[in-house]
């Protein structure tokens, strides 16, 4: 079975680990979000691609869900000693190697998709990881800074990591998305998929950014195969991260049903909500999307695998409908 998954960071990566356990023989292609990418110290950092690669490759810092395990921060300390910022983004020594190799290959003219393939040759994630685009897309957020009251547009990572999303996101803009083209293999993977999954990733800055690349949303809508998503919102709050802050920016209430409606029945055929949101099932089905309430807390690998089974089961129900 050929499965395509649109993945962001931590939630998407953890779901993928469950999907691999649930469907070991499946041919899984991951279309990774690159809107979180940031250029630091002359290096290109791809947080969501690295989180998938490290999580499935066995190198992730499990508690954080990002960065490497057994990490040290000598490079970061030395840079700070030189007064070279920013200090708010925790790049570890092992992680730096990934960004140096990536930046070297990009400078030599390799597209990000080829670079990602080369990095995955080492990590062997067991999925094909393709960036949504080889073109530069960076999510920026309009905020009113708390101390000065100044209105500013800042990089997503500054909003997410330095400000901890502590102020409202007044606008979320995937800069460059309109001019971006799907990376080689993205549209082909969607066209050849037997099922397409939206994991519990951030619907605005992760899955939303992937869908903002012209051609990807259309390809999924026209793929003619079941498209099933899992709600990242449980009990009116994000399971992790601060999805509610960016959902507000696009006028979507932080509920499992609202996120399904936001994706729309033109895109989604099925939607899984957590058992605590069972009352949302009726509203989602009224929107033309089949809905089931199942446990959605990825407390461990087996829980993630059970969620993956539920998603694939719903996909078959939709296919048979
Ligand atoms: N998230 C944090 O909350 N604090 C950090 O210092 C931090 C550093 C970091 C370094 C590399 C990397 O790949 C990810 C990192 N993240 C950090 C997570 C990152 O902000 C998020 O994983 C995504 O951008 C959102 O999905």
pLDDT in tens, the chain (321 residues): 999 999 998 999 999 999 999 999 999 999 999 999 999 999 999 999 999 999 999 999 999 999 999 999 999 999 999 999 999 999 999 999 999 999 999 999 999 999 999 999 999 999 999 999 999 999 999 999 988 999 999 999 999 999 999 999 999 999 999 999 999 999 999 999 999 999 999 999 999 999 999 999 999 999 999 999 999 999 988 888 888 889 999 999 999 999 999 999 999 999 999 999 999 999 999 999 999 999 999 999 999 999 999 999 999 999 988
Question: Which of 9, 66, 87, 88 to mutate for ligand 1's pocket (most ligand atoms within 8 Å of CB)?
Answer: 66
Q: Is 159 in the pocket of ligand 1 (CB under 6 A)?
A: no
CA distance 13 to 53: 8
Q: Is 36 in the pocket of ligand 1 (CB under 6 A)?
A: yes
> Ligand 1: distance of its center to the CA of 77 in Å?
18
CA distance 311 to 108: 41
CA distance 116 to 121: 9
- Write the DSSP symbol of residue 293: E
- Write the DSSP symbol of residue 277: G
Domains of the chain: residue spans and CATH = 2-36+126-134+178-320 (3.40.50.10680)
Question: Which of 44, 156, 161, 241 to mutate for ligand 1's pocket (most ligand atoms within 8 Å of CB)?
Answer: 161
Q: Is 134 in the pocket of ligand 1 (CB under 6 A)?
A: no
User: ∠68-62-17 over CA atoms, to 5°?
Assistant: 105
Atom of ligand 1 nearest to the CA of 91: 10
CA distance 209 to 174: 6
CA distance 10 to 6: 13
The pLDDT value recorded for residue 122 is 98
pTM comes to 0.97
CB-based contact 66:9 (threshold 8 Å)? yes
The pLDDT value recorded for residue 243 is 86
CB-based contact 111:87 (threshold 8 Å)? no
CA distance 219 to 213: 11
CB-based contact 174:139 (threshold 8 Å)? yes
The pLDDT value recorded for residue 183 is 98
Question: What DSSP string describes 199-228?
Answer: -SS-TTTTHHHHHTSTTHHHHHHTS-S-EE
Question: How large is the C-alpha radius of gyration of the chain?
Answer: 19
For the beta carbon of residue 263, count every other beta carbon within 10 angstroms.
Answer: 22
The pLDDT value recorded for residue 226 is 98
């Amino acid at each position: 079975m050929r499965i395509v998954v649109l993945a962001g960071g931590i939630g998407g990566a953890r779901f993928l680990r469950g999907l691999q356990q649930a469907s070991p023989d499946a041919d899984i292609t991951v279309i990774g979000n690159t809107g979180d990418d940031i250029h630091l110290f002359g290096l290109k950092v791809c947080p969501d691609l690295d989180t998938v690669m490290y999580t499935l490759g066995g190198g992730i810092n499990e508690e954080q869900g990002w960065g490497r395990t057994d990490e040290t921060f000598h490079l970061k300390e030395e840079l700070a000693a030189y007064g070279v910022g920013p200090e708010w983004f925790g790049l570890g020594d092992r992680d730096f190697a990934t960004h140096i190799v990536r930046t070297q290959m990009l400078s030599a003219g390799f597209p990000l998709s080829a670079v990602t393939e080369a990095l995955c040759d080492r990590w062997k994630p067991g999925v094909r990881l393709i960036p949504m685009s080889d073109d530069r897309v960076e999510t920026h957020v309009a905020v009113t800074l708390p101390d000065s009251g100044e209105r500013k547009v800042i990089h997503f990572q500054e909003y997410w990591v330095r400000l901890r999303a502590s102020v409202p996101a007044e606008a979320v803009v995937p800069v460059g998305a309109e001019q971006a083209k799907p990376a080689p293999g993205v549209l082909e993977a969607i066209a050849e998929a037997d099922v397409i999954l939206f994991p519990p990733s951030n619907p605005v800055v992760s899955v939303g950014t992937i869908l903002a690349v012209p051609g990807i949303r259309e390809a999924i809508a026209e793929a003619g195969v079941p498209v099933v998503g899992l709600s990242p919102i449980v009990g009116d709050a994000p399971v992790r991260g601060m999805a509610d802050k960016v959902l507000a920016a696009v006028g979507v209430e932080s509920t499992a049903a609202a996120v399904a409606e936001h994706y729309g029945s033109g895109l989604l055929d099925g939607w899984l909500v957590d058992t605590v949101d069972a009352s949302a099932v009726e509203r989602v089905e009224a929107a033309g999307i089949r809905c089931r309430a199942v446990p959605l807390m990825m407390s461990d690998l087996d829980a993630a695998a059970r969620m993956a089974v539920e998603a694939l089961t719903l996909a078959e129900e939709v296919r048979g409908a």
